[in-house]
Amino acid sequence: MTLADYSNSDLELDLRWWAAANYLTVAQIYLQDNVLLREPLTVEHIKPRLLGHWGTSPGLSMIYTLLNRHIRDTGTQWLYVTGPGHGGPALVAATYLEGTYSEVYPHISGDSAGVKALCRQFSTPGGIPSHVSVQTPGSIHEGGELGYALIHAAGAAFDNPDLVVACVVGDGEAETGPLSGSWKIPAFLNPARDGAVLPILHLNGAKIASPTVLGRTSDRDIDSYLSGQGWAPIFVEGDDPNEVFPALAAALTTAHGKIAAIQSAARAGEPVGEKWPAIVLRTPKGWTGPHEVDGKLIEGTHWSHQVPLSGVRENPEHLGLLEAWLRKYRPEDLFDDHGAFTKELAELAPDGDLRMGSTPYANGGRNLVPLKIPALESYALEIDTPGARSYETTKVLGELMRDIYKQNSDDKHGGTFRLFSPDETASNRLQAVFEVTDRCWQLPRTENDDGLSPEGRVMEVLSEHLCQGWLEGYLLTGRHGLFATYEAFAMVSVSMLVQHAKWLQHAVALPWREPVASLNVLLTSTCWRNDHNGFSHQGPGMIDAVIPLSPEVVRVWLPPDSNTLLSVADHCFRSRDHVNVLVVDKQSHPQYLTLDQANEHCAAGASIWKWAGTESPTAVGSEEEPDIVLAAAGDVPTEETLAAAQLLREWVPWLRVRVVNVVDLMGLLPQNDHPHGMPEQKFVDLFTAETDVVFAFHGYPRAVHQQLHGRTNPERFHIRGFSEQGTTTTAFDMVVLNRMSRYHLVLEALRRSRRVPEKSGDLAEFCQSQLRRHHDYVREHFEDMPEIREWKWSQG
């Protein structure tokens, strides 16, 4: 479209649609009655508490208006990602005016009563939040915690060749690290297979209280900044709607034309020389709102950020300014006598699912096809004797995902599954996926590259933010995936995970939101086995950050070996609307359970490993309590616990030892506190009611103590775990430093057991001497103790 193609009547209609959106935005913030201004405005019509963000809203609505026209003109599918998520009322207004809102929420009807209900519900107890939240149709992005707009947009575009994601980036948000890091989409987006992202960098110049960096950067420098990252920006600037609307309409057409050209060339196998288009839009913050209030400039400044007229309930002059502001939009020309949106304006919106509020891309469950998951038997390790065989635990997951890639791909759409990782797929032993696909890479290649191609669908980029957020966008648009990362560095993007959990928590309460695939995060290269990388790489805090989140959403899994990992992964890939955190190390570890045993164990969440204890066969389930319970959650803790059990069996076989393994951490929570919380009777069946429990835990010990509150006699649990001791050292030194070694566990068990067994003094002395020996030996020889390296489980 050229400027000439956008007629004056187009402009007039669009300005009126925009006026309606702006009117409803202001009305939502201010009005509880007389919402269509059919009578003079009085204080009684004003809400008791004024909440909402005006500043960004008119810009968001203008873009929506013109995208509507563009969609009608072209019949193409667009998703709207609102970086400045504070502009909630603008998106609520737009989706109401296009009709989606009333379809999703029938009580917000297309008449006066509906407009009143729309206004009253906004930012109100029992109503809707002020942001572009999960409750807003058409949204996959909340935008309260800024920085993730372009990341989510890219995730939505992967493997969706027919979609264009219009992504509005605020200039406040553009200052954040994650947003700054997310412009590198062109290095990873394949025009032949993926959809497109059209960034619209909206420079309204100010954030809460001061100007923005890009808002005060010259067009020339912004052009350089974006161009250097693979974009060809189109600049649109102004404060006269009569000029800005045609210019932006033309820019959208030009940009979409460039996108189509790039995609056509790529899809025809021709070289793509061009950079992707982007739009840079400079318009005033709080545009069309009060220009000056009490002699202070408001429009175009940060003073328009939230509620520009805050004194309307007390100050008649402010009330008058508000009425004038509202009447400027001419509501009487926008809504008919019944409060219905004027027909000629309502018709400007696209139809059906082409409406951005209705697109199934924004309600990903509608597009969701269950993942084809091959039978686990093909990947399971053979286990004859528990613990006799060692294996790099995560490897089988790579093999499973290899075949998931195979079975869930097609040539046109790419597929419905992707693995995301910060350059660690092979390091994390998941490299089997490279047998069927490559790392995704759109930049130049060299002859020495391996496993790297434009068609690759393993997403590796050294940014946890991008990995996490790309996956979120991919899932929320109806696909499946896994984010695999070093355990410690999962904390880099933990705030995104928290926000995603909040999104899902509220999503499940909305009947119109179809369930989406769960967010699966594999934490590997864990604290215990980052002995080669040192203290910065040793941190299990992710577990502590996840535990307190909504029990409806979060689950933490600690598979002790490969077959349990397979079982857990299978469960997680099939689950919906959850956040699954899987913690398992990549190094070689003893393997214990057959696949059948693993499935049973994972379904139970925790089990007694009878073969590892010394209770008489009849004791379990009887009144006779063991002398001590050894429990473990996590691979290294399991290994140390079993070694401790073996030492006890060899030295003091008359001690009645029970061994319990926990794979589903949330099962420890009381039944009322989490859907996975095990019934109290089951808890007592596992851990007894009174016997002391020496519990080796993967993470920080008090993470378990917090869960045990409310359980039977929780003070008898003695948790050992990661106690923030680490460095570059040996694997065994790590468990010694953190006092979770087999010797520490045995000493604790002897101290806590119901009876002082004969020969326990000898065993204690042996353990102490081993620890002394370790202390002397490793510092001399820089090496693990050989007998510990070679330890194999013996069933005696």
Q: Which 52-111 residues touch a copy of itself, going by CB under 8 A?
A: 85
Q: Does 315 bind a copy of itself (CB under 8 A)?
A: no
Nearer to a copy of itself, 212 or 760 (CB): 212
Cα 680 from Cα 686, distance rounded (Å): 10
Whether the Cβ atoms of residue 526 and residue 639 lie closer than 8 Å to each other:
no
Going from the C-alpha of 277 to that of each of 168, 175, 384, the distances in angstroms are 14, 21, 59
Q: Does 550 bind a copy of itself (CB under 8 A)?
A: yes
- In 190-346, where do the E strands start and end? 196-203, 231-237, 276-282, 292-293, 296-297
Indicate the Cα dihedral angle 100, 101, 107, 109, nearest 10°: -70
Q: Does 452 bind a copy of itself (CB under 8 A)?
A: yes
Q: Is 82 helix (H, G, I), strand (E, B) or coil?
A: strand
Given the rule CB under 8 A, which of 102-110, 167-175, 567-575, 646-654 is the region that contacts a copy of itself?
A: 167-175
Count of alpha carbons within 13 angstroms of residue 295, beta-carbon side: 0
Task: Please list the alpha-helical segments (H only) found in 241-306.
Answer: 241-267
Q: Does 466 bind a copy of itself (CB under 8 A)?
A: yes
Quickly count: other Cβ atoms within 10 Å of residue 696's Cβ: 29
Cα 786 from Cα 206, distance rounded (Å): 63
Q: Does 536 bind a copy of itself (CB under 8 A)?
A: yes
Q: Which of 181, 238, 360, 374 is in the footprint of a copy of itself by CB under 8 A? A: 181
Residues 503-532 that bind a copy of itself (CB under 8 A): 505-506, 532
Q: Which of 9, 40, 44, 126 is in the footprint of a copy of itself by CB under 8 A? A: 126
CB of 787 to a copy of itself, least distance (A): 15
Residues 569-598 that bind a copy of itself (CB under 8 A): none
Whether the Cβ atoms of residue 371 and residue 404 lie closer than 8 Å to each other:
yes
Q: Does 116 bind a copy of itself (CB under 8 A)?
A: no
Q: Does 43 bind a copy of itself (CB under 8 A)?
A: no
Q: The tokens of 85 are what?
A: 């998520």
Residues 228-247 that bind a copy of itself (CB under 8 A): 228-230
Q: Which of 561, 208, 519, 529 is nearest to 389 (CA)?
A: 561
Q: Does 672 bind a copy of itself (CB under 8 A)?
A: no
Q: Which of 12, 43, 177, 616 is in the footprint of a copy of itself by CB under 8 A? A: 177
Q: How far is CA 314 from the centre of its chain?
A: 43
Whether the Cβ atoms of residue 730 and residue 753 lie closer than 8 Å to each other:
no
Q: Does 131 bind a copy of itself (CB under 8 A)?
A: yes
Q: Which of 182, 253, 304, 607 is in the footprint of a copy of itself by CB under 8 A? A: 182
Whether the Cβ atoms of residue 353 and residue 578 lie closer than 8 Å to each other:
no
> 80 phi and psi, to 5 degrees?
-110, 115
CB of 66 to a copy of itself, least distance (A): 27
Q: Which of 549, 604, 764, 771 is in the footprint of a copy of itself by CB under 8 A? A: 549
Nearer to a copy of itself, 224 or 794 (CB): 224
Q: Does 128 bind a copy of itself (CB under 8 A)?
A: yes
Q: Does 216 bind a copy of itself (CB under 8 A)?
A: yes
N- to C-terminal Cα distance for the chain? 81
Q: The tokens of 51 are what?
A: 């909440």
CB of 286 to a copy of itself, least distance (A): 13
CB of 287 to a copy of itself, least distance (A): 16
Nearer to a copy of itself, 232 or 346 (CB): 232
Q: Is 167 helix (H, G, I), strand (E, B) or coil?
A: strand
Nearer to a copy of itself, 651 or 732 (CB): 732
Cα 237 from Cα 205, distance rounded (Å): 12
Q: The tokens of 381 are what?
A: 């390790």
- Print the binding letters for residues 324-363 with a copy of itself: x by CB under 8 A, - otherwise: ----------------------------------------
Q: Which of 7, 782, 795, 796 is in the footprint of a copy of itself by CB under 8 A? A: 782
# residues contacting a copy of itself (CB under 8 A): 126
Which phi-psi region, left, alpha or beta, contains residue 699 (left: φ > 0; alpha: ψ -120 to 50)? beta
> 733 phi and psi, to 5 degrees?
-60, -35
Q: Does 144 bind a copy of itself (CB under 8 A)?
A: yes
The secondary structure of 30-52, three-state, reads HECCCCCCCCCCCHHHECCCCCC
Q: Does 129 bind a copy of itself (CB under 8 A)?
A: yes
Q: Does 487 bind a copy of itself (CB under 8 A)?
A: no
Cα 252 from Cα 47, distance rounded (Å): 38
Cα 177 from Cα 148, distance rounded (Å): 10
Cα 248 from Cα 67, distance rounded (Å): 10
Parallel/antiparallel/unpaired status of strands 519-524 and 554-557 = unpaired
Nearer to a copy of itself, 99 or 286 (CB): 286
Given the rule CB under 8 A, which of 217-225, 580-588, 619-627, 744-752 is the region that contacts a copy of itself?
A: 217-225
Nearer to a copy of itself, 99 or 233 (CB): 233
Q: Does 703 bind a copy of itself (CB under 8 A)?
A: yes
CB of 41 to a copy of itself, least distance (A): 18
- The helix (H) or strand (E) run that includes residue 601 is helix 595-604
Q: Which of 25, 68, 139, 729 is in the footprint of a copy of itself by CB under 8 A? A: 729
Q: Does 374 bind a copy of itself (CB under 8 A)?
A: no
CB of 545 to a copy of itself, least distance (A): 5
Q: Does 257 bind a copy of itself (CB under 8 A)?
A: no
Contacts of 635 (CB under 8 A, 6+ apart): 393, 526, 528, 558, 559, 560, 561, 584, 585, 589, 698
Nearer to a copy of itself, 413 or 752 (CB): 752
Residues 707-726 that bind a copy of itself (CB under 8 A): 707, 709-710, 714-715, 724
Cα 747 from Cα 767, distance rounded (Å): 7
Nearer to a copy of itself, 75 or 444 (CB): 444
The sign of the CA dihedral 19, 50, 313, 32 is: positive
Q: Does 51 bind a copy of itself (CB under 8 A)?
A: yes
CB of 367 to a copy of itself, least distance (A): 25
Q: Does 311 bind a copy of itself (CB under 8 A)?
A: no
Whether the Cβ atoms of residue 665 and residue 556 lie closer than 8 Å to each other:
yes
Nearer to a copy of itself, 6 or 700 (CB): 700
Q: Does 706 bind a copy of itself (CB under 8 A)?
A: yes
Nearer to a copy of itself, 582 or 703 (CB): 703
Nearer to a copy of itself, 102 or 495 (CB): 495
Angle at 580 between CA 159 and CA 590, to 5 degrees: 110
Q: The tokens of 703 are what?
A: 């993470």
Residues 193-212 that bind a copy of itself (CB under 8 A): 207-212
Going from the C-alpha of 476 to that of each of 153, 546, 568, the distances in angstroms are 10, 20, 22
CB of 71 to a copy of itself, least distance (A): 28
Nearer to a copy of itself, 212 or 591 (CB): 212
Parallel/antiparallel/unpaired status of strands 480-486 and 519-524 = parallel
Given the rule CB under 8 A, which of 10-18, 70-78, 262-270, 774-782 is the region that contacts a copy of itself?
A: 774-782
Q: Which of 320, 534, 675, 679 is in the footprint of a copy of itself by CB under 8 A? A: 534
Q: What is the DSSP letter of 630?
A: E
Q: Which of 310, 57, 336, 256 is nearest to 170 (CA)?
A: 57
Q: The tokens of 510 are what?
A: 């909305």
Q: Does 454 bind a copy of itself (CB under 8 A)?
A: no
Nearer to a copy of itself, 124 or 254 (CB): 124
Nearer to a copy of itself, 238 or 451 (CB): 451
Q: Which of 48, 273, 511, 617 is in the footprint of a copy of itself by CB under 8 A? A: 48
